């Protein structure tokens, strides 16, 4: 199977992760308003499974190093399967809660609370489990990225012309979603051998782990996403019949593409983890918030005509983000 042979290549894969995780939501922007997020999310989860199979049968089954995709799945222990599936279940509810929080309270609340908690907690949990990299430099870098997320939120708050009270429900969803988002990666990591070339018996390689993880996402959709379909925190409810009656081929393909893009990021993050460490892989990936902000600034022109002072916040945000990114990368060099 394909295994990165250097830390520099692992960093490149982590940067691709960041780009993918910060870009997949653009596929939802391409969907029409008649296609609510819970319906889009079914195709999104199918796209994740599809990409894991492509990765498994191609990159995960070539070369002499490690174990082949099917052989690896066959030898996996029950604890490895359980851990990876739980990771998918936890990620799924976290993702849906943060999306709901954005819908209720807006990006200015949901992003700094939800993604900020996920970033810090995720790096701490994964570093404690596998302490790779200089902790001082790593956490200084994480702190700078967290500051960038707050600046991003302040910029969006200035953009909004409505001065309304933030719904408590949105804050609660942001906190819960952030806590869960900070934990899901560890469950998947616990199912993976730290040595990819000669993987430990019973544990997975990244290609098998991300496939089992995707099954956890899809199966839990019948609980989490079904609830959001029929009991949405905001907006009107939808049914399973709406999925078949309202969606055309284009909308389904957009959803599949969204899942493929996100899963490419997740797959590369796990593949890079042997050389980079799980904490650095996850930390770099969660810089996706700034990638999403870049889409909003430069492509979707969300800040066009923004109030005075907004541009300064935006540039300080990117400066803080890039500085934090550099520190996270060099933390592995010491």
- DSSP assignment of 242-275 equals HHHHH--HHHHHHHHHHHHHHHHHHHHHHHHHHH
Cα 200 from Cα 196, distance rounded (Å): 8
DSSP 129: H
pLDDT confidence tier of residue 161, bands split at 50, 70 and 90: low
* pTM, full prediction: 0.93
Question: What is the reported pLDDT for 233?
Answer: 79
- Do the domain assignments include residue 264? yes
In tens, the pLDDT along 48-105 reads: 999 999 999 999 998 888 899 999 999 999 999 999 999 999 999 999 999 888 878 7
- Do the domain assignments include residue 102? yes
Cα 189 from Cα 194, distance rounded (Å): 9
Cα 99 from Cα 102, distance rounded (Å): 5
DSSP 46: H
Question: What is the reported pLDDT for 32?
Answer: 67
- Do the domain assignments include residue 1? no
Q: Over 70: is that where the pLDDT of 21 sits?
A: yes
Sequence-separated (6 or more) residues with CB below 8 Å from residue 141: 283, 323, 324, 325, 326, 327, 328, 329, 331
Domain span at 223: 7-330
Sequence-separated (6 or more) residues with CB below 8 Å from residue 121: 178, 179, 182, 183
- Do the domain assignments include residue 88? yes
Q: Which of 165-169, 230-234, 275-279 has the highest mean pLDDT?
A: 275-279
Cα 219 from Cα 93, distance rounded (Å): 12
Number of domains in the chain: 1
- Do the domain assignments include residue 35? yes
- Do the domain assignments include residue 2? no
**Triad 143, 174, 95: Cα angle to 5°:** 95
- Do the domain assignments include residue 304? yes
- Do the domain assignments include residue 124? yes
């Amino acid at each position: 199977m394909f295994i990165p042979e250097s830390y520099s290549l692992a960093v490149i894969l982590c940067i691709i992760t960041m780009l993918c995780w910060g870009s997949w939501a653009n596929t939802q922007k391409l969907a029409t308003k008649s296609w609510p997020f819970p319906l889009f999310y079914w195709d999104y989860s199918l796209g994740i499974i599809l990409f894991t199979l492509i990765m498994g049968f191609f990159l995960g089954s070539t070369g002499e190093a490690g174990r082949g995709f099917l052989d690896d799945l066959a030898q996996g222990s029950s604890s490895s399967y359980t851990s990876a599936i739980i990771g998918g279940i936890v990620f799924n509810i976290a993702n849906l809660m943060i999306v709901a929080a954005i819908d209720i309270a807006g990006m200015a609340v949901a992003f700094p609370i939800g993604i900020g908690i996920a970033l810090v907690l995720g790096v701490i949990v994964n570093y404690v489990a596998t302490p790779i990299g200089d902790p001082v430099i790593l956490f200084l870098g994480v702190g700078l990225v967290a500051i960038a997320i707050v600046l991003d939120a302040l910029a969006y708050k200035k953009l909004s012309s409505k001065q309304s009270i933030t719904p408590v429900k949105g804050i609660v969803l942001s906190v819960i979603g952030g806590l869960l988002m900070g934990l899901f990666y560890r469950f998947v990591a616990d199912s993976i051998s730290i040595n990819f070339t000669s993987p430990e018996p019973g544990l997975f390689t990244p290609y098998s782990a991300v496939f089992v993880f995707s099954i956890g996402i899809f199966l839990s959709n019948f609980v989490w996403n079904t609830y959001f379909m029929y009991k949405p925190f905001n907006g009107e409810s939808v049914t399973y019949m709406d999925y078949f009656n309202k969606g055309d081929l284009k909308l389904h393909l957009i959803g599949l593409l969204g899942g493929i893009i996100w899963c490419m990021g997740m797959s590369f993050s796990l593949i890079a983890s042997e050389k980079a460490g799980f904490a650095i892989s996850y930390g770099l990936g969660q810089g996706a918030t700034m990638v999403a902000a870049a889409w909003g600034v430069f492509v979707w022109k969300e800040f066009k005509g923004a109030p005075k002072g907004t541009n300064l916040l935006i540039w300080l945000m990117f400066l803080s983000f890039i500085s934090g990114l550099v520190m996270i990368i060099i933390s592995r060099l010491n």
